Amino acid sequence: MEPLRGLTVVSLEQAIAAPYATRRLADLGARVIKVERPGTGDFARAYDSRVNGLSSHFVWANRSKESLTLDIKDPRGLDVLLRLLAGADVFVQNLAPGSAARAGLGFEALQSLNPRLIVCDISGYGDAGPYATKKAYDLMVQSEAGLLSVTGTPDEMAKAGIPVADIAAGSHAHSAILAALIERGRTGRGSRLDVSMLEATVEWMGFPLYYAYDGAEPPPRAGAAHATIHPYGPFVAADGKVVMMCVQNEREWAAFCDRFLGRPDLANHPDYARNADRNANREPLGRIVSARFAELTAAEAIDLLEAVPVANAHVNTPEDVWHHPQLASRDRWHQVATPAGPVPALAPPGPITDVPRMDPVPALGEHTRTILAEVGLDGADIDRLIEEGVA
């Protein structure tokens, strides 16, 4: 299923937010031309070298794209970019605040060039307001969005272990672009999208924000446990392994008391009958639940929890996830070519297809000559731009 086949996306992108958005468009069949700095490229290429010498971040967010190197500060490089945008469907950029507009790549200028072009600007804080020019990276936005106030332990805050602010912005940009394409189908005109990492992350903070509405006490940092639902979180089994489990409602609570704890009397105990009661008395209840887990191995506990049934999970490492039986049984891993050889990659969630689009991760500038020829440059001009570091 490649509904975006035939559409061209041009992206001045770096790091994660914009590359993740455009990779998802590529997954759906769009042609994505990634514009990079000559010589160095997207700085995410140098974040690490964990994938056969390549960056883990870059391999994850950049498959199925074409890499074009251009110095857009040089008028000749900018001219090439504008030629591409004249025939493109979508332009995505997440350069430093104001950089695209100063280069003549703002929405109004591009609308005159190509009225059907959808322009998606991704930034840390949006294009206006007191934070508009403030530098923004994932941890900074997690902090500003309040995420760090609800992650970690009571004694120490902790950032999320993945770049959630970048992923939130990329996900919202992806869905907004799809909506803009539908709108263009009705009106024939492109539109501008302004996606901020802060707003995308605050949207994901909906539950804690409303929980603390109108000055109410915010949810406490609860480590791997749930801040407001109990029992919900990690418990240590007799063999030292950790099992995650949760009880979501009173029906599950009654079954859990009877079939797992062997204490049906607790189901209607006034201290534990409702979730609010269990949350208020989580320390004594936690001791009861922990004592039962200490009588069982992790495997025995999971079998009993399945029989109740209540939700449970292993606490997996990344290595465990590569070999997860559920992903293997559904054939979710496919091979993606990279400049350093093939690597496994997860098929895009959602579309049901035997052969998802999983095209190569590009080498820096791999498609430069081809694309420059497409916009009308001859061989001598192309050689000159490359020799002079413009492409």
Contact 32, 361 (CB under 8 A): no
What does the pLDDT look like over 152-165, one tens digit per residue? 999 999 999 999 99
For the segment 308-349, what is each residue's pLDDT rounded down to a tens digit? Answer: 999 999 999 899 999 999 999 999 999 999 999 999 999 999
pLDDT at position 351: 79
The answer to whether residue 350 scores a pLDDT higher than 90 is no
Verdict on whether the full-model pTM lies above 0.75: yes
Residue written as tokens 């769009």?
30
Alpha carbon distances (Å) from 5 to 130, 193, 291, 316, 351: 40, 22, 57, 37, 14
Question: 311-314 and 242-246: which strand pairing?
Answer: antiparallel
Q: Which of 27, 166, 277, 378 is catalytic?
A: 166
Query: What residue ranges define each of the domains in the chain, with the CATH number in brackets?
Result: 8-204+329-387 (3.40.50.10540), 232-315 (3.30.1540.10)
* pLDDT tens column, 86-134: 999 999 999 988 899 999 999 999 999 999 999 999 999 999 999 999 9
27 annotated active-site: no
Q: What was the pLDDT predicted at 352?
A: 79
DSSP class per residue in 202-227? HHHTHHHHHHTGGGPPPPPP-TTS-S
Average pLDDT on 25-47 reads: 97
Average pLDDT score, the chain: 95
Q: Is the pLDDT of residue 146 over 90?
A: yes
Cα separation, 226 vs 241, whole angstroms: 19
pLDDT above 90: residue 139: yes
Q: Kind of pairing, strands 90-93 and 8-12?
A: parallel
**pLDDT per residue over 245-290, tens digit each?**
999 999 999 999 999 999 999 999 999 999 999 999 999 999 999 9
pLDDT, residue 108, reads 93
Looking up tokens 């070999």 gives 323
Band of residue 206 on the pLDDT scale cut at 50, 70, 90: very high
**pLDDT in the model for residue 355:** 86
8 A C-beta contact, residue 193 and residue 117: no
